[in-house]
Amino acid sequence: FIKEVMELLKEKFLAAGVHAEISGRPKHIFSIWKKMQRKAVDIEQIFDLRAVRVLVDDIAQCYAALGVVHGLWKHIPGEFDDYIATPKANLYRSIHTAVIGPEEKTLEVQIRTRDMHHHAELGVAAHWRYKEDAKQDQDFERRIVWMRQWLEKKDFGEETDGLQDAFDQEMEATRIYVLTPMGKVVELPKNSTPLDFAYSIHTDIGHTCRGARVDGHIVQLNRALRSGETIEILTAKNGTPSRDWINPHLGYLHSSKARNRVKQWFKQLDYEHHVELGRYALEREMTRLSISEKPNLEKVAAKHNLQHGEDVYAAIGRGDLSPIQVAGFGGREKPAPRSRAIPDSNKSSGVAKGEVVVAGVDDLMTTIARCCKPVPYDAIIGYVTRGRGVTVHRRDCPNVRAMPEDEQDRLVAVHWSDEQQETQYAVDFMVTASDRKGLLRDISAVLTNENIDVIGVNTNSDRKTDTATMRFTIEVKDMNQLSRVLSKIEQLPDINLVKRLL
C-alpha cells in the first residue's frame, strides 16, 4: 500500500513541477495504543496508521505539494496542522494532513523542507522508522485487524461513524491554503478572493470589509489568492456590503456561500430602502453610460414578472436585477415613431448589413454614427443619408436633437438585431482621478484583462489640483461589456469619476 502511494505521489509531483523526496512507513502498534491513550479516542480516529513523508526544496513547494495531495485524495476534516506557519514550542516545523487514500484507507502525509527535516531528526520529533518491505506491510495490516478486535471487541469490517463521516464529506477538487495574521491556516476553494476569505472568517467581517493586505501589500478585493499568502482584512465600523460584490462579472466573490450571505443582507433591508438603493444605482448607471432616455419601468416589470414599475427599483436594490439590465432596456425595444416621417417599426423588417434592423426596409446599408458612437443596446434612431444608406445615432444624440425640422423627414425607426455577432463598436469614456504614479498602468491593466482593444488615449494633468483627466476610445461588443469595464475601473484606488462620453 505504501509503495503504491509513493509511486502515485512521485508521478503527480513530477507533473506539477514539485521536486520531492518521498518515504513512507506504517505506525507501530504500541505507538498507536499510546496515541489512543493520550487522546482518549477510538482507533477509527487515529488517521496516521499509514504515513508518507515528503521533503521539498523550499516553503513554496511545501504548499504546492499540499495542493497536489488534496487534489488527489479527499482530506479528512479537522485533520490538518500547519506547523510551518505556527511552529511547535520545540521549533518543529512541518505540514501534517490526513486523507482518504487508495482502497479507502486513511493516510497521513507530512510535508517539510530538508532543513526542517534535519531539525526534526536531531530534535524530539525524530520518531519515524521506515518499513518498505511488502510482506512487512501485509503483516502490519493483519496486526491492525487483531488490534481492532482486541480493543473494540467487534467484528472486523464494521463501519464506524468517524470514518463514514470522512467518506460522506464532499471536498473540493482544488483548494488553496492561506494564513491569518495570527498564523491560522484557512482552507478555501481555488480562485478565492480576500472577500471570500473575510466571509469564511465571519459574516460580519465580510459585511464590513473595506480592503485587504496580502503579505503586507494592499490589494484589490477581487484579486485571486494563492496558497501560503497571509491575509489581513481591513474593516470599517459601519461598513456594509456592496451590490458590486454579487455581480459575477466583477469577480469579487468566488464562493456561492459568500454571495448568498451578501444577497441575504440586501433582502433583509425593508422594501422602501431597496427602492431608494435601486433608484440610485440605476441613475448612477445611466449617468455613467450617458443614457438620457429613461427605461419604461412598467414594461421591465412585466418582463421580469414584477407587479409594478417601482418593484424594478426594489429588485435592483436587492441585487435580483443589475442596473445595466434595466438601463439598456429601451434600446432592445422597437422604438415608437418620433414624427410622421418615421415608419411604424412593427411592420415587416429585415436585418441590414450590420446588426441593426431598419423598419420596413430589407438589405439597406447602415453605418454607426461617429458623433455619438452607439453600441448594443442603446436606444437608437436612423438617419437616411444621400447615397450612403442609413446612419445609426443614439436617440439622445445632440446632433439628432438639434436637427432642423426639414431634415427630420429623413429619420427612420431602427433597432438592434436580436442576434448580435462579434462586431466591435468604438466608444469613448472619461476618467478623472487623483493624479498618482501608476494610474494609467492600472487602468490599462483592467482593459487588458478584459481583452479590450484601445484605439486612442488622451491624458491631461492639472498640477494645481493634482487631478488627472483621461479620455479613452475603446472597442466593445455591447453595453453590458462597457458597463463591466467602467465598473472595474471605478473600483481602482483614487478614481473620482468614470463616465461614457457622447
444-473, pLDDT tens digit by residue?
999 999 999 999 999 999 988 999 999 999
User: Grid coordinates standing for 182?
Assistant: 495570527
Contact in structure between 341 and 403 (CB atoms under 8 Å): no
User: Grid coordinates standing for 138?
Assistant: 501485509
Average pLDDT over residues 21-42: 59
Contact residues for 93 (Cβ-Cβ < 8 A; gap 6+): 83, 84, 87, 112, 116, 119, 120
CA gap 150, 437 in Å, rounded: 72
Given the candidates 2.120.10.30, 1.25.40.10, 3.40.640.10, 3.10.20.30, the CATH classification of the domain at 175-267 is 3.10.20.30
**Fold annotation for 2-168:** Beta Polymerase; domain 2 (3.30.460)
Is residue 127's pLDDT more than 80? no
169-178, pLDDT tens digit by residue?
433 446 788 8
Burial 327-340 (b: 16+ CB within 10 A, else e): bbbbbeeebeeeee
CATH of domain 425-501: 3.30.70.260
Chain region(s) in the chain for CATH 3.30.460.10: 2-168
Chain region(s) in the chain for CATH 3.10.20.30: 175-267
pTM for this predicted structure: 0.43
Within 10 A of 284 (CB to CB), how many other CB atoms are there? 13
CA gap 37, 246 in Å, rounded: 49
Chain region(s) in the chain for CATH 3.30.70.260: 425-501
Specify the amino acid at residue 321.
L
331-378, pLDDT tens digit by residue?
444 444 444 343 333 333 333 344 787 766 666 788 899 999 998 888
Contact residues for 62 (Cβ-Cβ < 8 A; gap 6+): 56, 84, 95, 111, 112, 113, 228
Contact in structure between 359 and 384 (CB atoms under 8 Å): no
Contact in structure between 491 and 244 (CB atoms under 8 Å): yes
Contact in structure between 209 and 239 (CB atoms under 8 Å): yes
Q: Which of 49, 106, 111 is nearest to 77 (CA)?
A: 106
At residue 393, the 3 state secondary structure works out as strand
Strand partners, 96: 81, 110
